[in-house]
Amino acid sequence: MSSVKNVIQDSYKLMLLKDYLREAIKEAGFSDVEIQKTPTGTRVGLHVTRPGIVIGRKGSGIRDLTKVLEKDFGLKNPQISVIEITRPELEPSVMCNRMAQHIARGTAFRRAVMWTLQTIMDTGAMGVQITISGKLRGERSGFEKHSKGILPRAGYQAGVIVAEDVVHVETKMGLIGIRIRIARKEKFVPEFELKAVKKESKQKPKAKEEEKEIEIVEEAQIDRTKPRTESEEIEREEELIKEVETYEDVEEELK
């Protein structure tokens, strides 16, 4: 088999794997999967918002998922590692899934859009753009595009800073597509950057980095106010979305 066919086949398998994981570990807030082939097997990195749900009780979730990846997707000796997403509001895939669930539950699409925009910007994003298309208000299909902040559209910066994802949700009116693009401040690369020479030894910065990592883990363990599953997060947000002001509310006040 040629190298081109191998690339196409690997990309197709990765697409099928992402579709499966998006449904299988939906409650864990699945964002992305990384696959790396090694001489001893295959390393699979799962980026989720709630690692405990994927791991399961005494590692039962990991063992079941390993069997599925090996049997159904043909991965050789898969070694799964679970990576926690510290700020899920800046991940387009997570926010796409949450917005899709809100619309599927009957929330007005503009309320869901405004809520998602504000949530992403409040978390510290540089800019965000949400495009929603399909049968939104009637028999005819249409689309709306809402944006906030600064979002590079082209060039090198756009490729580095901006991340995006697309999902589809089935409603009574038909299929609705959601596309979210998020620009993150910490990924901004200045055109000119002066790096100061540090005279400290190389071991000290590593010690500081280790201290920071330990602090982050401790804070994550102490925080018990976080909803346990994505469904609980959606239920909590539904009450807050009702307070979001939309264009229709403003029109009613002006009449």
Query: What is the spatial distance between Cα 19 and Cα 166, in angstroms, rounded to a whole number?
Result: 12
Residue 155 has pLDDT above 70, yes or no: yes
Looking at residue 215, its amino acid is: E
- Give the lowest-confidence range in 27-31, 48-52, 58-62, 201-205: 201-205
**What is the token pair recorded at 5?**
């066919």
Residue 79 has pLDDT above 60, yes or no: yes
Residue 63 has pLDDT above 80, yes or no: yes
Residue 142 has pLDDT above 70, yes or no: yes
Count CA within 13 A, CB hemisphere, residue 65. Answer: 23
Residue 209 has pLDDT above 50, yes or no: no
What is the reported pLDDT for 249? Answer: 62
Nearest to 240 by CA among 101, 131, 116: 116
Residue 246 or residue 197, greater confidence: 246
Residue 140 has pLDDT above 80, yes or no: yes
- Give the lowest-confidence range in 111-115, 154-158, 180-184: 154-158
Residue 179 has pLDDT above 90, yes or no: yes
CATH class of 3-84: alpha beta
Confidence class of residue 173 from pLDDT cuts 50, 70 and 90?
A: confident
Query: What is the spatial distance between Cα 205 and Cα 223, in angstroms, rounded to a whole number?
Result: 27
Count CA within 13 A, CB hemisphere, residue 241. Answer: 24
**188-204, pLDDT tens digit by residue?**
776 655 556 555 544 54
Residue 167 has pLDDT above 80, yes or no: yes
Confidence class of residue 60 from pLDDT cuts 50, 70 and 90?
A: confident
CATH topology of domain 88-247: Ribosomal protein S3 C-terminal domain (3.30.1140)
**210-242, pLDDT tens digit by residue?**
333 333 333 334 355 667 787 878 888 887 787
For residues 11-46, one letter each, b for 16 or more C-beta atoms within 10 angstroms of the residue's C-beta and e for the rest, the string is eeeeeebeebbbebbebbbbbbbebeeeeeebbbeb
Confidence class of residue 178 from pLDDT cuts 50, 70 and 90?
A: very high
Q: Hey, where are the domains in the chain?
A: 3-84, 88-247
What average pLDDT does this structure show over 126-145?
89
